[in-house]
Amino acid sequence: MARRAAAAELSNIGAELRTAREQAGLSQRAVAVTLGWRREKISRIENARLRTAALHDLMAHSAALGLTMRAKVYPHGPPLRDIAQLSVSQRLLRRISNTWGVRMEIPLMLPGDRRAFDLWLTADRITIAIEVFTKVRDVQAQIRAAHLKWRDSNATRLIVVVAESHANRTALRSVADLVASDYPISPRAALAALADGRDPGECDCGRLKLAPVASSQRSRGEHLAADRLRELLPREAGRQLRALG
């Protein structure tokens, strides 16, 4: 898909350069002489047959025809999902009830707005928007962006899922005191509700404290369960109940 988009853009640029040359009454050879190129290179660019055209060459070609080429990038749909993000999403989906309807990459229904949620769960009248963070760089900014996206959607709940890693744990720990009071839902309770097909925002799930267990007393399965539970960071939209694992 990305390669096709690039080829289409090169075709558009080539057509514009050909039109500009013809309107100026110049031959391909004349433009080539100006640039110190072979005529065949001009032809390949105009007909989008030069798939590896350098940006510098396209700018020089444009300048020779009295044009100014500006390169700028714009949002145009969701980016390709990386393997790590898919892995986290799949791990979450394996742990929830199959009664949830699941969709991926759901865009906001706003004209010109290309933001999208990574996952979208539906059941009865409940819609849960899910954002997946594989890397936590600025947790406050990332969660704020997720909340703004939720505000502009029609989802009744928002859940943020964070991949388990030492760097992510460190980043979350650095702001724990700042956000803990705003996230009263236990990750365990939220995940249990999703596993049962229930609305996590309706459970009686104040922040739960687990009694400390020595590492030697935990089974391998308990270690894995604890690690995975820390990935879930839900927020209840109606009552503004949130959870940060």
Please give the pLDDT value at position 39: 95
Determine if the pTM surpasses 0.85. Answer: no
Q: Tell me which DSSP letter residue 200 carries.
A: G
**Number of helical H runs and strand E runs in the chain:** 10, 6
Whether the CB-CB separation of 233 and 139 falls below 8 Å is answered with no
User: Does one domain contain both 13 and 43?
Assistant: yes
Please give the pLDDT value at position 240: 36
Please give the pLDDT value at position 220: 47
User: Span 31-40, mean pLDDT?
Assistant: 94
User: Does one domain contain both 132 and 49?
Assistant: no
Q: Which two tokens stand for residue 64?
A: 């020779």
Q: Does 146 reside within a domain?
A: yes
Domain that holds residue 203: 83-242
User: Does one domain contain both 107 and 49?
Assistant: no
Is residue 139 very low, low, confident or very high in pLDDT (cuts 50, 70, 90)? Answer: confident
Side by side, the strands of the sheet bearing 126-133 are 101-107, 116-123, 126-133, 157-162, 232-236, 241-242
- Tell me the percentage of the chain whose pLDDT exceeds 90: 33
CA distance 184 to 236: 10
Is residue 217 very low, low, confident or very high in pLDDT (cuts 50, 70, 90)? Answer: very low
CATH of the domain at 13: 1.10.260.40
Whether the CB-CB separation of 44 and 50 falls below 8 Å is answered with yes
User: Does one domain contain both 60 and 162?
Assistant: no
Q: Does 76 reside within a domain?
A: no
CA distance 116 to 78: 7
User: Does one domain contain both 107 and 215?
Assistant: yes
Please give the pLDDT value at position 51: 67
Please give the pLDDT value at position 203: 62
Check whether 72 has a pLDDT greater than 60.
yes
Please give the pLDDT value at position 98: 92
Continuous segment of H or E residues that includes residue 227 = helix 220-229
CA distance 29 to 35: 10
Q: What is the amino acid identity at position 78?
A: P
Q: Look-up: residue for tokens 């990332």?
A: 142
User: Span 45-70, mean pLDDT?
Assistant: 88
User: Does one domain contain both 59 and 180?
Assistant: no
Continuous segment of H or E residues that includes residue 43 = helix 39-46
Continuous segment of H or E residues that includes residue 102 = strand 101-107
